């Protein structure tokens, strides 16, 4: 990052030894923010120019939006309100899973079976209360920048190719490019990319039934997807589906040496694009972002860029956090 030339994804693949295919040390040997480093003060100041009307749009679902939870091991919150007397109220929230609703995945969320965690941080350090790669790093820096909505769901429907919301259809980056062209907006380095597939609208419609097992369309599990995001210097990417990428990753061709050699058994994480984006590239991602109202506003005005902010919980050693995000149009 300190060099005049910023490496392309192809150049990352040419790095020597253990650095091959990674962005480790690109932002510094001790870096813990990854691509959020693209949110420079100059880019944040420029992002303010995207505010035209001062309209604020919430991008967060309620913490208890899903009952039963979408992911079985992420339970429902238990909210207690109490008072010390009749003119006072206090509260606590038990059983809070920070990634059960609108969320930000921190850089300790995923490691790569062949490489490890981002910037070669030891997995032994990634415990509660230990700061390495914790979500508090993001909270300390804050998230603010030019957001760009790409409404792939609306674009595909208008093109006569609606996304199959009850499948794990892999959406190629060509659909993103086509939607951006249709919207008349382009990406700039440091942008926060918000992708609307239309999945949340689909599962929240009256009478909707969840598929069992749960599936959703999403980004194609291809190295070309990672290259597309990296080469555009996206600071962060978030979507309105369960995993940003297609879920489950059963149609993925991505693999690891550990799995091929039989050192690691297959699991629900096999083939996931997460394994490239988070630990190798240091890309912060968001899931289950509520983008429907934002999409309506953008379609009404014809402007698809805005100021977007996010402030995760300041939990030392946190893996992820509710997004606490806002678009200002």
> What was the pLDDT predicted at 199?
98
> What was the pLDDT predicted at 322?
98
C-alpha distances in angstroms, 184 versus 46, 135, 146, 304, 327?
A: 19, 34, 16, 8, 19
92 within domain boundaries: no
66 within domain boundaries: no
231 within domain boundaries: yes
CA 56, CA 104: separation in Å to the nearest integer?
20
Question: Nearest 10 degrees: CA dihedral of 260, 264, 270, 272?
Answer: -90
> What was the pLDDT predicted at 2?
45
97 within domain boundaries: no
255 within domain boundaries: yes
Domain residue limits at 200: 9-61+102-328
CATH number (domain holding residue 35): 3.50.30.50
> What was the pLDDT predicted at 134?
98
CA 253, CA 255: separation in Å to the nearest integer?
6
CA 115, CA 22: separation in Å to the nearest integer?
9
3 within domain boundaries: no
H or E element: which one contains 238? Answer: strand 236-239
In total, how many domains does the chain have? Answer: 1
> What was the pLDDT predicted at 5?
86
CA 15, CA 45: separation in Å to the nearest integer?
34
CA 224, CA 119: separation in Å to the nearest integer?
22
> What was the pLDDT predicted at 4?
65
pLDDT in tens, 130-142: 999 999 999 999 9
Which stretches in the chain have pLDDT values below 50? 1-3
CA 258, CA 260: separation in Å to the nearest integer?
6
C-alpha distances in angstroms, 146 versus 47, 168, 228, 282, 295?
A: 4, 29, 18, 19, 16
């Amino acid at each position: 990052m300190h060099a005049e030339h910023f490496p392309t994804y192809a150049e990352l693949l040419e790095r020597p030894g253990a650095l091959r295919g990674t962005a480790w040390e690109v932002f510094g040997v001790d870096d813990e923010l990854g691509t959020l480093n693209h949110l420079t003060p100059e880019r944040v100041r420029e992002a303010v120019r995207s505010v035209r009307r001062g309209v604020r749009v919430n991008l967060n679902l309620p913490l208890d939006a899903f009952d039963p939870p979408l992911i079985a091991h992420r339970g429902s919150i238990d909210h207690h309100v109490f008072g010390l007397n009749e003119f006072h109220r206090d509260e606590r929230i038990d059983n809070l899973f920070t990634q059960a609703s609108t969320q930000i995945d921190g850089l300790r969320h995923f490691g790569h079976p062949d490489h490890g965690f981002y910037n070669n941080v030891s997995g032994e350090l990634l415990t509660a209360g230990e700061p390495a790669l914790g979500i508090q790093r993001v909270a300390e820096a804050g998230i603010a920048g030019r957001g760009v909505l790409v409404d792939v769901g609306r674009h595909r429907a208008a093109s006569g190719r609606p996304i199959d919301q009850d499948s794990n259809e892999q959406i190629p980056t060509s659909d993103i490019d086509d939607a951006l062209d249709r919207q008349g907006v382009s990406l700039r380095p440091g942008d926060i990319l918000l992708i609307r597939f239309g999945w949340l609208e689909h599962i929240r419609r009256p009478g909707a039934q969840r598929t069992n097992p749960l599936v959703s369309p999403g980004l194609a599990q291809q190295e070309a997807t990672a290259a597309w995001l990296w080469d555009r210097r996206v600071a962060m990417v978030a979507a309105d589906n369960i995993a940003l990428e297609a879920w489950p990753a059963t149609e993925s061709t991505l693999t690891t040496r550990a799995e091929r050699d039989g050192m690691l058994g297959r699991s629900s994480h096999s083939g996931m694009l997460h394994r490239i984006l988070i630990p190798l590239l240091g890309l912060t991602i968001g899931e289950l972002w509520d983008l429907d109202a934002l999409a309506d506003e953008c379609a009404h005005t014809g402007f698809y860029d805005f100021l977007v902010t996010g402030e995760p919980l300041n939990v030392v050693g946190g893996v992820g956090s509710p997004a606490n995000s806002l678009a200002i149009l």
